Amino acid sequence: MISLTIDGIATQVAEGTTILQAAKLLEIRIPTLCYHPLLKPFGACRVCVVEVQRGASYEVISACNTPGREGMVVSTDTARVLAARRLVLELMLARWPNVPVLRQLAAELGLEQPRFTSTLRDERPDACVLCLRCVRICEEVVGACAIGYEDRGILRRVVTPFNQESEACIACGACAHVCLTRHIRFEGEDYKGKPAEFLLGPNTAIYMPTAQAVPKVPSIDPETCIHFKTGGCQSCVQVCEPGAVNHKMVDEEIELDAGQVLVATGFDLFDATPMAQYGYGRLDNIYAALDIERMLNATGPTGGRLLLKNGQPPRAVGIVHCVGSRDENHHRYCSRVCCMYALKFAHLVKERCPQAEVYNFYIDMRAFGKGYEEFYSRVLHEGANVIRGKVAEVVQAGWSKQEEGTLLIRCEDTLIGRFREIPVDMVILCNAIEPRQDAGRVGRVFGLSRSPDGFFLERHPKLDPMATMTDGLFVAGCAQGPKDIPDSVAQASGAAARILATISKGVVEIDPIRAEIDEALCSGCRTCGPLCPYNAIEYLEDKKVSRVNSTLCKGCGTCVAACPSGAITGYGFNDAQINAELEGILTL
């Protein structure tokens, strides 16, 4: 540690700390244009000059790249320092008179107009002021070296190699992030219909999947992380105090021996794109439920505000229930959660945009849970409109400038028996819950049956909704069928209790009715294996015979009937035993 004094305040800092960093620790502001915490000190702008006492003399130096020394006395606001800063800003204003950051610094120093004129005057408010932060971060941090500068002196300018589009650019946006004047901007391409993923998805390469993620640990997207593209950056490693970030980790598969398994694989959200009548992916301002959840999140791309594509709040919002559910062409079942989260959206729209009209288009309002009916009444009292009837289609309202961007919802109001057209600015589609795409593969791995709707089949829908036909195998949540959070938690808790109860016994009793294989008669044809509904038959490669897992077998007899060599019999029910029973009965 070294001791130094800044503006009469004594402090101690680590050796190697620059004057600018030491002043920041004391909350003393030193203006600068070229400094950035991610970059090595450059000292190019000369706005950060300070005065340092050296014996009986004083010296004006730049604060960003000068390390503090023992006993150093620094002044940040002397007449010489302020005069030097005004002269630098005066020269910059002569060339870039309308750049806001320069105008603000000049006003702080009492400088209104420069005394000089420049032959290279650029009056654009977003003109490049040659701080070169963009070039340095692309080279030092990103490691792409996609931009640089050419010429010298006042002719210097930032360019790409040979003034052509550079293949080295990875579109990471780091240069735009550090640009003082927004001369470099990161703008998404215009889209039609469904917005680009990055507009509604995570804004950084390292992010928390959800606020309620378990475990609550950030994830790194290797497809957008700069380090995986260039080998540079690693800014997250530098700021992580526990040292928990490791870019060298790779995906690995872990095999565990488990006696019981709880299958809780969740669900997929129905993709409304095939339902062309709703315009999802084709018309602007038509969003799916998860898109709106991301938009309304405080950490989302709009900061929690409900905005249209043009950046304006909507004047009217239509919320369409049962998109893909209760539909003969898609899913015949009710998704159970759509009505309530549609009412939640209506409440949030009224909260964020009080002036907006909200229309809920429903088939039947199913507010079945505790407090759900009360919430429904609350939303109605807040001014939301509910229309009973299925939406026929969503189209553009018209071709006039006044109606440009407006959508028209066409539906039948069954309560009044009339066809209606409702003009809105935004449409929210409440998508159905459907089984995961890999549900079939998971079912084959665990030997789980599936109901006609594609969800995993339970042992009994009322008496045992969490167990399956295989002992030790349980299902919970939307893997078993559509349900909301309270029901999912209750079912998962019940399944966990069943698992713990089995573990606490220490000994498991199995049903004596099961099949057994006489290995001397088995020919190894493997006919029985695929037929077993419980995956209880395994093939032994070394012996070239099949064997029954007595714990999994339920004694259904399918394999007994199918075995071509007669090697499989029911335990306690072979021919000799049955004949002995008959003989015993006949002797009475």
Out of 3.40.50.12780, 3.90.180.10, 3.30.70.20, 3.30.1050.10, the CATH code matching 515-586 is: 3.30.70.20
Tens digits of residue pLDDT in 521-546: 999 999 998 888 888 899 999 989 99
Domain 2-77 in CATH 3.10.20.740: yes
Hey, what CATH topology would domain 269-434 get?
FAD/NAD(P)-binding domain (3.50.50)
Going from N- to C-terminal start, the domains of the chain cover: 2-77, 133-178, 269-434, 439-505, 515-586
Q: Which helix (H) or strand (E) holds 540?
A: strand 537-540
Segment 213-223 shows an average pLDDT of 85
- Rounded mean pLDDT, 460-475: 90
Q: Is the dihedral of CA 20, 23, 27, 32 positive or negative?
A: negative
Q: What is the pLDDT of residue 41?
A: 86
How sure is the predictor about 198, in pLDDT bands with cuts at 50, 70 and 90? very low
The predicted structure's pLDDT at residue 191 = 61
pLDDT at 261 over 60: yes
pLDDT digits (tens, 9 = 90+) for 360-378: 999 999 998 899 999 999 9
**487: pLDDT strictly greater than 80:** yes
Give the Cβ contact number of residue 527 at 10 Å: 16
Q: What angle do CA 347, 352, 356 make, to 5 degrees?
A: 80
Out of 48-62, 201-215, 328-342, 499-513, which region has the weakest mean confidence (pLDDT)?
201-215
Span 298-322, pLDDT tens digits: 877 788 899 998 889 999 999 999 9
CA distance 526 to 532: 11
Q: Output the pLDDT for position 55.
A: 75
For residues 578 and 382, which has the higher predicted lDDT (pLDDT)? 382
Does residue 30 contact residue 22 with C-beta atoms inside 8 Å? no
Mean pLDDT of 475-492: 94
When the pLDDT of each residue in the chain is averaged and rounded to a whole number, the result is: 88
Between residues 278 and 54, the one the model is more confident about: 278
Whether 480 shows a pLDDT value over 90: the answer reads: yes
Element holding 177 (H helix, E strand)? helix 174-178
| Rounded CA separation 274/432 (Å) | 13
Is a pLDDT exceeding 70 seen at residue 178? yes
Question: How far does CA 219 lie from the centroid of its chain?
Answer: 9
What is d(CA 359, CA 345) in angstroms, rounded to the nearest whole number?
11
- HSE-CB of 150 using CA atoms within 13 angstroms: 6
| Mean per-residue pLDDT, 492-505 | 93
Question: pLDDT tens across 135-157, in order?
Answer: 999 999 998 888 988 888 888 88
Structure tokens at 436: 């995961």
Q: Which of 455, 498, 29 is nearest to 262 (CA)?
A: 498
**What is the distance between the alpha carbons of residues 435 and 154, in angstroms, rounded to a whole number?**
64
The pLDDT, as a whole number, for residue 116 is 84
The H or E element that residue 569 is part of is strand 568-570
Task: Tell me the percentage of the chain whose pLDDT exceeds 70.
Answer: 95
